[in-house]
């Protein structure tokens, strides 16, 4: 029954947890900039306002693609929290991103079209490390199955410190934070207006926002996977690690400026080789 309970909890609670983390993000960012910032519950107020507006979309296809983006992220997270195959989870995560790219590409706005192209570049940048990370879990624990990984005798991070560092690096891309907020941004310093979400408003934008909250919890769930094992103390350790990683992402977002697409691509591939590549080679020889 535990996998079923975990899936239900993820589907029901992940949007609330993601919204709270988004509110915490805004408060921390404001404090770092010497401001008071909005209320912690501001993301909930924003979602309520979005879903209270009239449904307006460029075309019906965009609504379908936005819903597909949400559904695939929910399925990917459900598989992770149910203890299923992490490799399949990463494939579904990539599929969800493709639906968002198609949703932005189905209108004539130059901003959203340019944002869609940049989103594709970002996918090219982080996908190699995501796949290598799944292979790294297999080399470190002998399985792709999340339920077996968390029952290992020791934390996977002991054998995979490079993969963790690389994953923290690309998490900034997935959460669309500086210096990698090329396709869109949640702050006012985006030069393309809102980039990939420029033509989305009302409930259509609300759907994408809820999907992003699912993605935040999913990414932090993968971070927790590095620390979970059969011992009870690994659970509070994993929660603390997730909060620390999220804080570091917020800090990085506020102390760095956006880079160009070629810098993003090159830096991510270098990070992939230096962290995931070297760590993977070491694991292969150790086995």
Range of the domain at 249: 2-286
What confidence score (pLDDT) does residue 177 get? 86
Task: Compute CA 207 distance to the chain's CA centroid, rounded to the nearest angstrom.
Answer: 16
Phi, psi of 59, deg, nearest 5: -160, 170
Number of structural domains, the chain?
1
Selection from 83, 71, 51, 60 nearest residue 205 by Cα:
51
pTM: 0.93
pLDDT of residue 154: 92
Decide if 283 contacts 208 (C-beta within 8 A). no
Buried b (16+ CB within 10 A) or exposed e, 187-200: eeebebebbbbbbb
* β-bridge partners, 145: 85
Query: Average pLDDT for consecutive 10-residue bins of the chain (287 residues)?
Result: 88 95 93 89 93 80 90 95 92 92 82 85 91 92 92 93 94 88 69 73 90 95 95 95 95 86 88 91 83
- Shortest CA distance to 251 belongs to which of 177, 165, 166? 177
Please state, in angstroms and rounded to a whole number, the distance separating the CA atoms of residues 121 and 264. Answer: 9
Contacts 24+ apart (CB under 8 A), 44-48: 44/19, 46/209, 47/19, 47/206, 47/209, 47/210
Decide: 119 and 196 in contact? Cβ < 8 Å: yes
């Amino acid at each position: 029954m535990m996998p079923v309970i975990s899936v239900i909890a993820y589907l029901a609670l992940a949007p609330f947890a993601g919204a709270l983390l988004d509110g915490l993000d805004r408060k921390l960012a404001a404090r770092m900039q010497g401001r008071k910032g909005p209320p912690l519950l501001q993301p909930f107020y924003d979602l309520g306002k979005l879903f209270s507006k009239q449904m307006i979309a460029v075309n019906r296809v965009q609504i379908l693609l936005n819903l597909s983006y949400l559904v695939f992220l929910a399925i990917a997270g459900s598989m992770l929290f149910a203890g299923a195959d992490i490799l399949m989870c990463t494939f579904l995560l990539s599929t969800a991103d493709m639906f968002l790219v198609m949703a932005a590409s189905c209108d004539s706005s130059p901003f959203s079209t340019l944002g869609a192209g940049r989103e594709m570049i970002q996918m090219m940048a982080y996908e190699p490390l995501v796949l290598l990370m799944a292979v790294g879990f297999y080399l470190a624990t002998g399985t792709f199955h999340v339920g077996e990984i968390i029952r290992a005798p020791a934390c996977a991070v002991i054998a995979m410190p490079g993969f963790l560092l690389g994953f923290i690096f690309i998490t900034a891309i997935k959460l669309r934070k500086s210096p990698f907020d090329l396709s869109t941004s949640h702050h006012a310093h985006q030069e393309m207006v809102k980039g990939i979400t420029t033509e989305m408003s009302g409930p259509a934008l609300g759907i994408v926002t809820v999907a992003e909250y699912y993605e935040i919890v999913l990414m932090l769930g993968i971070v927790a996977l590095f620390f979970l094992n059969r011992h009870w103390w690994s659970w509070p350790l994993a929660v603390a690690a997730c909060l620390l990683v999220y804080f570091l992402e917020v800090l990085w977002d506020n102390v760095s400026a956006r880079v160009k697409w070629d810098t993003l691509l090159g830096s991510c591939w270098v990070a992939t080789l230096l962290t995931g590549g070297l760590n993977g080679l070491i694991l292969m020889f150790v086995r």
